[in-house]
Amino acid sequence: MEYIYLGKSQLKVSRFGFGCMSLPADQKESESLITQALDKGVNFFDTADLYEKGENEIRVGQALHTRRKDVILATKVGNRWRADGSGWDWSPSGAYITGAVEQSLKRLRTDYIDLYQLHGGTVEDPADEIVETFEKLKREGKIRYYGISSIRPNVIRSYVEHSRIASVMMQYSLLDRRPDESITALLKEHEIGMIARGSLAQGLLTGKEPKNYLSYSAEEVGKAARAIMAVSGLHRSPAQTALRYVLHQPAVQVALVGIRTSAQLSDALGAFDTSILNTDEITILEESIQALAYTDHR
The 3-class SS string of the chain reads CCEEECCCCCCEEECEEEEHHHCCCCHHHHHHHHHHHHHCCCCEEECCCCHHHHHHHHHHHHHHHHHHHHCEEEEEECEEECCCCCCEEECCCHHHHHHHHHHHHHHHCCCCEEEEEEECCCCCCCHHHHHHHHHHHHHCCCEEEEEEECCCHHHHHHHHHHCCCCEEEEECECCECHHHHCHHHHHHHCCCEEEEECCCHHHCCCCCCCCCECCECHHHHHHHHHHHHHHHCCCCCHHHHHHHHHHHCCCEEEEEEECCCHHHHHHHHHHHHCCCCCHHHHHHHHHCCCCCCCCCCC
In a domain, 33, yes or no: yes
Tell me how far apart the alpha carbons of residues 191 and 185 are, in angstroms, rounded to a whole number. Answer: 10
- pLDDT digit string, tens, across residues 41-80: 999 999 999 888 889 999 999 999 999 999 999 999 988 8
Residues 266-288 have a mean pLDDT of: 94
Residue 261 has pLDDT above 80, yes or no: yes
> Looking at residue 143, what is its pLDDT?
98
In a domain, 159, yes or no: yes
User: What pLDDT band is residue 8 in, cutting at 50, 70 and 90?
Assistant: very high
% of the chain beyond a pLDDT of 70: 100
Residues 108-118 have a mean pLDDT of: 97
Show the domain range for 142: 3-200+239-275
In a domain, 103, yes or no: yes
Paired with 258 in beta bridges are 19
CATH code for the domain of 52: 3.20.20.100
Tell me how far apart the alpha carbons of residues 108 and 118 are, in angstroms, rounded to a whole number. Answer: 17
In a domain, 292, yes or no: no
In a domain, 231, yes or no: no
Give the three-state DSSP class for 105.
helix
Give the global pTM.
0.93
- pLDDT digit string, tens, across residues 230-256: 999 888 999 999 999 999 999 999 999
**Residues labelled as active-site residues:** 51
| Mean pLDDT, the chain, whole residue set | 93
In a domain, 211, yes or no: no
- pLDDT digit string, tens, across residues 19-44: 999 999 999 999 999 999 999 999 99
In a domain, 227, yes or no: no
Number of domains in the chain: 1
- pLDDT digit string, tens, across residues 206-222: 989 999 999 999 999 99
In a domain, 266, yes or no: yes
